[in-house]
Each structure stands twice: as structure tokens, then as C-alpha cells.
Amino acid sequence: MSFGKGCHLHLVDGSAFIFRAYHALPPLTRKSDGLPIGAVAGFCNMLFKQVEDAKGDDAPTHVAVIFDYSGKSFRNDMYPDYKANRPPAPEDLVPQFPLTRDATRAFNIACIEKEGFEADDIIATYARQAREAGGRVTIISSDKDLMQLVGGGVEMLDAMKNKRIGIEGVEEKFGVGPERVVDVQALAGDSVDNVPGAPGIGIKTAALLINEYGDLDTLLARAEEIKQPKRREVLIEKADQIRMSRDLVRLDDDVPELEPLEALELKDPDAEVLLPFLASMEFRSLSKRIADTLGVESPDIPEPPAPAASSEEAAAPDLPPIDPDKYERVDTMAALARWTALAAERGYVAVDTETTSLDEMQAELVGISLAVLPGEACYIPVGHKKGGADDLFGSDELAEGQLGLDEVLAALKPVLEDAAILKIGQNMKYDAKIFARHGVKVAPIDDTMLMSYALYSGLHNHGMDTLSDRYLSHEPIPIKSLLGTGKSAITFDRVPVDEAVKYAAEDADITLRLWQSFKPQLHRAQVTTVYETLERPLVPVLAQMEMNGVQVDRDTLSRMSNAFAQKMAGLEAEIHDLAGQSFNVGSPAQLGEILFEKLGFEGGKKGKTGKYSTPADVLEDLATEHELPGKVLDWRQLSKLKSTYTDALQAHINPETGRVHTSYVQTGANTGRLASTDPNLQNIPVRTEEGRRIREAFVAPEGKVLLSLDYSQIELRILAHVAGIESMREAFRDGEDIHAATASEMFDVPLAEMTPETRRRAKAINFGVIYGISGFGLARNLRIPRAEAQAFIDRYFEKYPGIKEYMNDTVGFAKDTGFVQTLFGRKIHTPEINAKGPHAGFARRAAINAPIQGTAADIIRRAMIRMPAAIEGLPVKMLLQVHDELIFEVDEGAVEDAIAAIRAVMEGAADPAVKLSVPLVVDAGQGANWAEAH
């Protein structure tokens, strides 16, 4: 078939696929010989997905995968340094390059590369040819260099975000249309590809200039007219360099001797070619999936004799496909007995609950699913109501064909509580709390979400959808397809039982499969100890804390709300008066207009949406010149306190318990910290007097007291330990004021003569170091000139050379291995650490911070895990954790005993796994409310 009108050509940027696949997957190797094949596996998956996704109305008629030819291109003849900044490809990726070509051909897709040309040039050439022939083109890539090709039937598709990029998308990115993209790129340059461009000019400025003068040649010809002296000089002096840059970025759309378009026609893969290739790679599950799709028998891939393997793809046994139609609906006690017997026989069972709410404290149990083997799963409905989504009011009557909740729980309880049967769940804390409310204590447990967290923190989130997609290549039935969204959403008890069976049992099936995949991984990744000592045992502790809840006094909050509302109304009137007009004070956009246009203040910066930005520090500066900004700041503070705290907290008081029950997300922070949600009780105000009063509403019941115990300077102590800073360790051992001690050492001031200002600066630097300090950041924080801030930092590193060394070592380790570690072995992955551009700075600082923040998080986790045993027998309940602080409720008479017991656990929490060279010190407070206790 010749290429012409009505044809649709897909051009896949092969190199982008390879790199994405490489970074997305753990380093898999071929089981039989250890050949690295992770990128090939990911590449095949993506290619297959691409082919499958493209079926339908908009299907391509022609497809090609375009690769870069290794080696130099014609651009290096123009400019020898072109792409000279590129690091070499990772060692274990190099042997995979030719395999991805083989894979492409095995899929029966045209595989194109050409010596002396980059993939982009070939893509440009084909795009032009296809356009001229009257066809359409989709370029599967997000590379901005390709944006110059968009238009006239050519579009890009960002496969990652599944977003199409047309002319508008290009304008959004470059501020000009596709035909002027090269002009903008020529001016802005590109640090990744080492295109020089015009120094000092970025994309924004470049677009501005091009839009004003029409095109680059006109701009350069009329450069004399430009008002800004710097820009004018650069454009005149660097004109040749800019023209050369344009030649570098302009794609060559006339690559000679390419395969003709006709040769790219899409053909079905030949099973006789493709399957043997996949078999040779030992991709078992992918072979199976593809064989199923092609409707042929999947090849038998023999297991190699050696058991050593690190490829889950290869290691996965031949699993039955996930098929929701095969799950069993359990509606007789005999059937239920059969399932409990199966669980007992195997010694493990995956469990999942379906309920009416995400709030475990209020959710009603609707059904329970179990899985004992991959593909063998059931659902036990107990609380489904009659009448489906169409029934406006539904019915409170139970649907037919369900066992009673009580009899089901009675039958399951012996299994769920049996120490010899492992209960496997995805986010088991949720299900355990549901069961706990029905008097069932689920134990022992394993949790696939936590396994994923121990294995892959920093790489991706740990929700079931993500895990299923990544590790089982399967997209579970979306809950939205059952419940709908928004206002019309129904609760799970309104879902027809037959649909619920498929969804719920599939979740248990997936959980079981994930568990089988993760279990051996833990050991290989050497995170078994992390999982067993820092993750798994924390689940019951957090569940208990959440169920305990904290008493919050509604009247106190309500009174404060009213007072805030009154003050806000007064401020609002004053603000409108000062502005000379009425506007929404809560709208930064409207406020920006008033400040920077109507009132004419200087220094208004616009954000990415083109609106003025009005954060607190900007308003603080303006407050010296005008009354309005200060009033807005006051209004904002009150607005925050009212909406986020005094109002929202009241809504979170549980009607049954009269207390507020937060949820901790154990996998919420990459570093090992917890996150608190619904409501977040880890950000209750404390820094301002007015805010702190909110804490007065967190109270102890009659006859009890709130205790707060917090680690003093735990992160700095950890820094002193890991970086081996002897003088700082000594200061901690001697119980000195650490910031004053730092100041004394840095500025050669005796402790006795320390001024608050000097101490404040040292404190800012101490914190800055933990965050991966920069001169700019410190300067902004201390509001001092950048040079001065940099001088402080230099001085600090001079005094504490161990810190510089620690930073370099940590970043080096991250670059080599892709992760950093806490003292307790927790891994935090840093996939961006070898990236180029602004990402790199963030990744670098995060890598420096993660072991410190993470070690502190590990220590308090250890304390929390040991706490129940330590306070056993005392009238004490652990209620809350705020990163370095634990809050307890205790009988008045037992305060001293409780503090002693808790402090001992917290101060000794690192032992015996890690011997710290600095003491851990815990401060304690008590009172009738949290404000007093803190």
C-alpha cells in the first residue's frame, strides 16, 4: 500500500523509550546467564502497549521506531562540542541497545537508523514526506527538539502522560509557533546538548524577542535597536554563535536514502518470529500475554537449573492470567468453609475488605475477599443493599444471596487470628481496623504496600494500581467504574454483587501475586530487616493510635472560629478601603493586580500562570511602605487558622467517640517519615501566639493529662554522628546549646559573649546544611547578601570538613547506586540524581537530606514499636506522632512513671542496632492541653 491521503504514520522515538524503560525498572537480568535485560523488557512492554493502545479509530497505518546511530553526527562537524556534556550510557544498558533493535524487528515494526544522523533528523524527514503525501503523522516523544515539526497534520504524543501536543502545546512551551521554535532555541541554547545560544537569554526572553522582531534574522539585523544594553551587545557580538546554534538545533528533514514510506506499513507481528525472540530473552509473563493476544499457544520457556535469579520477569512462574470472570461468589457456609480450609492448608491467604467509606472509623463492612493462589479468589458479600445506582433512594434492605455478617465473621475469625496463617493485604492497617471494630484481631500480617515501600521508596508510589501496572503489567478494574465520581458517586454497598465479586476478588488476587513477587525481592535488595523491624511491626501500633484518637474540645474551636470571623470581616473592610475598591482578599491574582498595577508597587513577579505572585515574604517587604500588605498578611493568617483548623477540625470529631482520629500514611514520605491525613495532625500551629492557641482545644479528659515528649535536635545529632564532626559531638555530649556552640566555633566568639543575632545565623546554617545548603538559599533565609551567605558556608565547611566530605560521599553513592541509605538500612531511591538540568540540584539536595531525615524517622519508629510493651500495665495511651514528638494521654497519678518509661524507650531507640556517638535527649512536657504539654 502506498502512502497517501488517509494514511497515518506513527514515529516512535526509540532512544527515549529505551531510557525510560531503563530507569523505570529494577536492574533485571536474564536468569540463565545474567545478561542485563531490564531495559529490553520495559522496551518490549512499552512497544506492545503502544501497538495495543493505537488500535481503534485513530489507528496508524504505518509505524516506525527510529533510533540514534551510535557515534558522531554531522552536527559534530559543525561544532565539535555538540552533546559533549552527555555522560556515557550506564554500563549495564550498553549491551541492551542492539537487543532493542532486535525486539523492534521481532514485533515486525520497521526499525530505522542511519549513520551520521540523529533519530530526530530521520523523524523530521519522514514527517515531511508523509505531510507532502497528504497523510497524518504522530510523533511518539516528548522531546522538545521535535516540536519544530508540529503542524500541518503532524502532532506529538507524550506517551508517558498520554497527552497530545499540537501547535498550541508548542506555543505553550516555547511562546512561539512551531516554525519559530528553532529561532527561540538558537537564542536560548541548551545546556543538555551543549548548544551555546546567546548567553544570558532563556526561552522566555528569546520568545519575547522573536515575537517582537518576527524572526531571528530580522532580530539579528536590527539588534542595534534593542534598548537593554546587555541583550543588545550579546546579540551583536554573538551573532555568529547564535546562527551556528540555529544550524545545530534545526532538524535536517532531508536525510538521504531512507527506506520509503511504503516500507513502514504496519503489519501484524509474526508469532513464529516474535515468540521465539521473547523466549530467548526469557520473558515468561510477557510471552504469555502476547501469545494470548495473538491467539496462539505460549512457548514453553525452560527454567534454568540454577535457582539464583534477580529477574522477577524471568523468575515469575507461569501464572494463570488475571481473569475477573473466574472468581467465586461465596454465598453458602459450606463454600466459606472450603475457603477457610484452603487458607489453613496453605498457611497464608490474601485478604481485602470492601466498605462504605474510606474512613475506617465510620466505614461499614460490605464484603470480604480472599485469595489463596494466583487466580483462585473469592468474594463474600455481606452488606450489599437492594437496588442499584438507578434506584434514586436505594433500599436499606439487604440484597439476596448473601451470608450474614455475624456468621461470616465467626467463621473467619479463627483464620484471621490464627498465628499459623499469614494474612496478606495491601494497606492492611485499613482492613485490620475494620476487623478490629468487629472484635477480630488480625495477626500475623504481611503488607504488599509496605514491601513495595521498603523496596522501591523514591521510585514510585505504592498504591495497588501502580504496583499492579508495574509488576504484574495488569490494570485492575477501576473503582470509579463501579462507584462513579463526584456528586453522583455511590457507596460500595450499592454496587451489584456480581460486579463487586469481580472487583473485590481481583484485588485479593493481585495482592497475592504482588506478595509472591515481592517476597524474594526483599532479601535480594537487602531490605528484609527494614521491612521486618521498621515497617511490619508498626502497623498494629499505628492502628491502635488512630483508634485511640485525641479529644478535641468543640466549644473552644467554635468560639475561636467566631472570633476569627469577626476579625477577618474588620480587616477585609480596612483592606478594601486601602485598596479603594472591593475585591476578594483570598485571591492572590486579584491582590496582585491591586498591589502591582493599581498601587504601583515594584518587584511584582509573575508565576507560571502569568499571574502576580504574592507570598508572605513579598508582602512583608511591602508592608514597610504601605498599610495594606500587612493587613492582608493578618487576614491570611486568620483565614488559614479558621478554615484549616478551627472549622475543619470540628468536622473531624467522630460522632461516636467524640474524638478526632487521624490516619497515618506509613508510605507517605520517601524518607521514612509518616504522613498524617484526614485530618493532618502533624501541622497544628505552634509558631505564632495566635496559632498556638488552637492547641488549647486538644485536651485530656477529666482525670487525665496530656504528655508530649520530643527528641531534642535529633537531625543535627545524626549529622554530627554520620559526618564524624568531633567538636559538634562533644558539644552534644556536654549538653551545650548547639547553635551557640556552632556560632562560637565559626565566628571565634566566646560562648559568654554570644549575641542572639550571631546565634541565629549559626542556627540557620546548621539547618541549611541538613537541607543541602546553597549560598542563595541561606541568603534568602537570613536576608543578607549572597556573597556574605556564601562566606558563612565556606567558613562552616572549613571548620567542619567532615560535613563537606559526607555530602560528597552521599551524592557519589547515590550517583553510583541510585539510592541512599539510613543508618538502619532503609533505602531511598534517587532516580533523578544523574539527570541534567534543574532536576539535578533538587535530587542532589534531597539525597543529602534523606539519610539524616530518614535515620531520625527510623529512630522514632523503633521507639513507637517498642512503646506498647514498655507502657504495658501503665494507664497510658499513645495518641499522636509529629516526626520527632510523641503525644500521650495518661492518668494524673501516673505521670512520672509514664514519662520515665517513655523517655527510656525513646532515648534508647537506636540501640542495639546502631551505636550513636552522640546521646539522644528527650524533653518532656505535660498539661491539661497540648499547648501546655508542648
Residues 881-920 within binding reach of DNA (CB under 7 A): 882-885
In one letter, which amino acid is 497?
Answer: V
Among 5, 55, 227, 687, indicate the residue that binds DNA (CB under 7 A): 687
User: DSSP assignment of 345-381, as one string?
Assistant: HHTEEEEEEEES-S-TTTPPEEEEEEEEETTEEEEEE
Taking the complex as a whole, the smallest distance from the CB of residue 651 to DNA amounts, in Å, to: 7
Among 214, 414, 478, 607, indicate the residue that binds DNA (CB under 7 A): 607
Cell triple for residue 186?
538558537
Cell triple for residue 351?
485478604
Taking the complex as a whole, the smallest distance from the CB of residue 664 to DNA amounts, in Å, to: 9
Taking the complex as a whole, the smallest distance from the CB of residue 61 to DNA amounts, in Å, to: 32
Site for DNA in 191-220 (CB under 7 A): 191, 199-200, 202
Q: Is residue 777 involved in binding DNA (CB under 7 A)?
A: yes
What is the C-alpha to C-alpha distance for residues 179 and 181, in angstroms, rounded to an integer?
6
Among 16, 165, 412, 619, indicate the residue that binds DNA (CB under 7 A): 619
Beta bridge partners of 373: 376
Q: Is residue 616 involved in binding DNA (CB under 7 A)?
A: yes
Give the end-to-end CA distance of the chain in Å, rounded to a whole number.
Answer: 77
Q: Is residue 184 involved in binding DNA (CB under 7 A)?
A: no
Cell triple for residue 903?
523517655
Helix (H) or strand (E) holding 163: strand 163-165
Site for DNA in 814-853 (CB under 7 A): 838, 841-842, 845-846, 849-850, 853
Is 373 or 648 the residue whose CB approaches DNA more closely? 648
Count, residues near DNA per rule CB under 7 A: 76
Among 648, 835, 904, 921, indicate the residue that binds DNA (CB under 7 A): 648
Taking the complex as a whole, the smallest distance from the CB of residue 624 to DNA amounts, in Å, to: 17
Taking the complex as a whole, the smallest distance from the CB of residue 480 to DNA amounts, in Å, to: 9
Contact region with DNA (CB under 7 A), list: 48-56, 329-337, 544-552, 606-614: 606-614
Among 639, 744, 822, 929, indicate the residue that binds DNA (CB under 7 A): 639
Site for DNA in 652-671 (CB under 7 A): 665, 668-671
Q: Is residue 767 involved in binding DNA (CB under 7 A)?
A: yes
Taking the complex as a whole, the smallest distance from the CB of residue 144 to DNA amounts, in Å, to: 14
Q: Is residue 444 involved in binding DNA (CB under 7 A)?
A: no
Instruction: Compose the 139-178 pattern: x for residues touching DNA by CB under 7 A, - for all others.
Output: ----------------------------------------
Among 768, 802, 818, 851, indicate the residue that binds DNA (CB under 7 A): 768
Is 399 or 769 the residue whose CB approaches DNA more closely? 769
What is the C-alpha to C-alpha distance for residues 934 and 931, in angstroms, rounded to an integer?
6
Q: Is residue 723 involved in binding DNA (CB under 7 A)?
A: no
Is 589 or 599 the residue whose CB approaches DNA more closely? 589
Name the DSSP class of 55.
Answer: -
**Which residue carries 542511519 as its cell?**
114
Taking the complex as a whole, the smallest distance from the CB of residue 663 to DNA amounts, in Å, to: 8
Name the DSSP class of 653.
Answer: B
Instruction: Compose the 298-337 pattern: x for residues touching DNA by CB under 7 A, - for all others.
Output: ----------------------------------------
Among 765, 811, 876, 922, indicate the residue that binds DNA (CB under 7 A): 765
Taking the complex as a whole, the smallest distance from the CB of residue 672 to DNA amounts, in Å, to: 9
Contacts of 397 (CB under 8 A, 6+ apart): 385, 386
Taking the complex as a whole, the smallest distance from the CB of residue 930 to DNA amounts, in Å, to: 11
Among the listed residues 730, 681, 763, 719, the one whose alpha carbon sits nearest the alpha carbon of residue 853: 719
What is the C-alpha to C-alpha distance for residues 503 and 34, in angstroms, rounded to an integer?
38
Q: Is residue 781 involved in binding DNA (CB under 7 A)?
A: yes
Contact region with DNA (CB under 7 A), list: 377-385, 544-552, 686-694, 872-880: 686-694
Is 203 or 415 the residue whose CB approaches DNA more closely? 203
Taking the complex as a whole, the smallest distance from the CB of residue 792 to DNA amounts, in Å, to: 10
Among 773, 807, 886, 933, indicate the residue that binds DNA (CB under 7 A): 773
- Report in angstroms the alpha-carbon separations of 661 from 300, 491, 674, 890, 908: 53, 22, 15, 18, 29
What is the C-alpha to C-alpha distance for residues 525 and 523, in angstroms, rounded to an integer?
5
Among 70, 526, 562, 677, indicate the residue that binds DNA (CB under 7 A): 677
What is the C-alpha to C-alpha distance for residues 227 and 108, in angstroms, rounded to an integer?
58
What is the C-alpha to C-alpha distance for residues 812 and 835, in angstroms, rounded to an integer?
14
Taking the complex as a whole, the smallest distance from the CB of residue 447 to DNA amounts, in Å, to: 17
Residue 707 main-chain phi, psi, to 5 deg: -115, 140
Is there a contact between 847 and 806 (Cβ–Cβ < 8 Å)?
A: no
Taking the complex as a whole, the smallest distance from the CB of residue 606 to DNA amounts, in Å, to: 8
Is 505 or 828 the residue whose CB approaches DNA more closely? 828
Site for DNA in 556-595 (CB under 7 A): 584, 586-590, 592
Beta bridge partners of 195: 190
Helix (H) or strand (E) holding 769: helix 756-770
Is 119 or 773 the residue whose CB approaches DNA more closely? 773
Taking the complex as a whole, the smallest distance from the CB of residue 485 to DNA amounts, in Å, to: 8
Is there a contact between 337 and 474 (Cβ–Cβ < 8 Å)?
A: no
Q: Is residue 676 involved in binding DNA (CB under 7 A)?
A: yes
Q: Tell me the three state secondary structure of residue 65.
A: strand
In a 13 Å sphere around the CA of 860, the CA atoms on its Cβ side amount to 29
Q: Is residue 778 involved in binding DNA (CB under 7 A)?
A: yes
**Which residue carries 559568654 as its cell?**
752
In a 13 Å sphere around the CA of 535, the CA atoms on its Cβ side amount to 30
Site for DNA in 495-514 (CB under 7 A): none
Is 427 or 853 the residue whose CB approaches DNA more closely? 853
Is there a contact between 684 and 930 (Cβ–Cβ < 8 Å)?
A: yes
Residue 197 main-chain phi, psi, to 5 deg: 65, -160
Is there a contact between 456 and 829 (Cβ–Cβ < 8 Å)?
A: yes
Cell triple for residue 644?
484549616
Q: Is residue 640 involved in binding DNA (CB under 7 A)?
A: yes
What is the C-alpha to C-alpha distance for residues 443 and 422, in angstroms, rounded to an integer?
7
Long-range pairs of 407-411 with CB within 8 A, sequence gap ≥ 24:
407/333, 408/336, 408/368, 408/380, 408/382, 409/438, 409/439, 409/440, 411/333, 411/336, 411/337, 411/340
Among 257, 608, 702, 787, indicate the residue that binds DNA (CB under 7 A): 608
Is 134 or 200 the residue whose CB approaches DNA more closely? 200
Site for DNA in 853-882 (CB under 7 A): 853, 882
Is 261 or 887 the residue whose CB approaches DNA more closely? 887
Is 441 or 780 the residue whose CB approaches DNA more closely? 780
User: DSSP assignment of 859-885, as one string?
Assistant: HHHHHHHHHHHHTTTSSEEEEEE-SSE
Site for DNA in 32-91 (CB under 7 A): none
Among 774, 790, 834, 917, indicate the residue that binds DNA (CB under 7 A): 774
In one letter, which amino acid is 47?
Answer: L
In a 13 Å sphere around the CA of 302, the CA atoms on its Cβ side amount to 4
Q: Is residue 357 involved in binding DNA (CB under 7 A)?
A: no
Q: Is residue 611 involved in binding DNA (CB under 7 A)?
A: yes
Listed in order, strand segments (DSSP E) in 652-751 are 659-660, 663-665, 675-677, 698-699, 704-711
Is there a contact between 888 and 710 (Cβ–Cβ < 8 Å)?
A: no
Among 563, 633, 653, 913, indicate the residue that binds DNA (CB under 7 A): 633
Taking the complex as a whole, the smallest distance from the CB of residue 720 to DNA amounts, in Å, to: 17
Site for DNA in 222-281 (CB under 7 A): none
Beta bridge partners of 922: 711
